[in-house]
Amino acid sequence: MFSGTLRVRDRPQLGSGGARKVTGIRVLHAGSDLAQASVSAGQIGKLWGLADARLGDAIGVPHLAAGGRHFAPPTLETIVVPVRPADRARLHDALTMLAEQDPRPLGAGAAAEVMHEGENPFLATVGLRIEPAPAGAGLEFRLGVELGSMPLAFIKAVEETVAVTLREGLHGWQVSDAIVTLTQPGYAPRQSHAHGTFDKSMSSTAGDFRNLTPLVVMSALRQGGTRVFEPVHRFSLELPADTLAPALSLLARLRATVRAPTIRGASCLLEGQVPAACVHELEQRLPGVTRGEGTADCAFDRYQPVSGAPPTRQRSDHNPLDRKEYLLRVVRRAGSPA
């Protein structure tokens, strides 16, 4: 989403949490792309430097007063399975930016794992506080400690891992609209044996923080809780008045909320809201209950909390919700370079 003019080295505000500089721009013109210093609204261009950009991110400073978004967010999910099971991890990396779900933290939660204490096998200390942010605010990472309290590379490792971990929250859905604050850092300085080279068994590495952070994130989420939201569409149905009763029965089965019908002679207008997951069935069954004379117009309206038990999605990470399973998987490969 973009309006205005974007120039090389501008710092876009990205909804996924981090800001990146635009390092190059090429604008499509007359069948080819030309290097340019800027791209304006209405032009088609290619940008370089936005490695963390995701679908739906706002580039630049969005003009919220201009009427909001022009395109509805995606409200359905496609399941993609690799032909070869060995390619599962590669496929997951390739599709990471396509994940679009909308749970939010319910309240604040905090957790910490301290180096050399308890069952923490990593040379790292990480404390995090997770709080709900306003709807649509995205993910924000903050420092609750002095910048020099830990090497910047380790702080960056925590920040990046927080963003990755929150792509699969307590129920497997991506967690959005959250403020995550680093509250407790700690590390083992670079050390070596006498007259020896760097020994990572004695010194913290970025890998220690990447491996530890998911456990802290999930502990904080458990404490604060999350709420799963589902997309809802508004609908407008036009149908013969004598088919109103079966149409209302269908809408009730699809968990729709319906406003009072408007009767116009032999025709009837029904308006209301229906969960996005039920829109396809509504479109399929409407002809059957209206003798093929009903028409439907549906469009995304908003997100609403899921009633009852939240739906879950199969995890594709190392499952930091199960500490024993997670450590078995992660510690086994912790000897690889960070």
Q: What is the mean pLDDT of each run of 10 residues along the chain (338 residues)?
A: 55 47 82 83 81 63 52 62 78 50 80 94 96 89 93 96 94 90 93 61 90 97 90 94 95 95 94 92 93 92 85 87 93 56
- Cα–Cα dist 148/185, whole Å: 10
Q: Is 76 a member of any domain?
A: no
Q: What is the dihedral of CA 5, 9, 14, 17, to 10 degrees?
A: -160
pLDDT of residue 151: 94
- Show the tokens assigned to 44: 């088609």
Q: Which of 253, 256, 251 is nearest to 239 (CA)?
A: 251
Would you say 178 and 105 are in contact if contact means Cβ atoms under 8 Å apart?
A: yes
- Show the tokens assigned to 288: 């059957």
pLDDT of residue 229: 87
Total structural domains within the chain? 3
Would you say 101 and 77 are in contact if contact means Cβ atoms under 8 Å apart?
A: yes
- Show the tokens assigned to 63: 């003009």
Would you say 294 and 227 are in contact if contact means Cβ atoms under 8 Å apart?
A: no
pLDDT of residue 42: 79
pLDDT of residue 163: 95
Strands (E), the chain: 5-7, 24-29, 32-35, 38-40, 45-48, 104-105, 109-113, 124-132, 139-143, 178-187, 226-227, 229-240, 257-258, 262-264, 267-275, 295-305
What CATH number corresponds to the domain at position 260? 3.30.70.240
pLDDT of residue 102: 46
- Show the tokens assigned to 73: 């967010």
- Cα–Cα dist 278/255, whole Å: 8
pLDDT of residue 61: 57
Q: Is 290 a member of any domain?
A: yes
23 and 115 both lie in a single domain: no
Question: What residue type is 11 in one-letter code?
Answer: R
pLDDT of residue 4: 58
pLDDT of residue 126: 98
Sign of the dihedral through C-alpha 116, 117, 123, 128:
negative
Would you say 227 and 104 are in contact if contact means Cβ atoms under 8 Å apart?
A: yes
Q: Is 85 a member of any domain?
A: no
Q: Is 145 a member of any domain?
A: yes
124 and 218 both lie in a single domain: yes
Q: Is 151 a member of any domain?
A: yes
Which region, left, alpha or beta, applies to residue 97 given φ > 0 means left and ψ of -120 to 50 means alpha?
Answer: alpha
- Cα–Cα dist 228/305, whole Å: 6
Q: Is 79 a member of any domain?
A: no
pLDDT of residue 84: 83
Distance of CA 65 to the CA centre of its chain: 24
- Cα–Cα dist 25/22, whole Å: 8
pLDDT of residue 57: 63
Q: Is 121 a member of any domain?
A: yes
pLDDT of residue 69: 54
116 and 216 both lie in a single domain: yes
326 and 246 both lie in a single domain: no
- Residue 30 lies in domain: 5-66
For strand 38-40 and strand 5-7, is the pairing parallel, antiparallel, or unpaired?
A: antiparallel
166 and 23 both lie in a single domain: no
Would you say 44 and 50 are in contact if contact means Cβ atoms under 8 Å apart?
A: no
- Cα–Cα dist 296/289, whole Å: 13
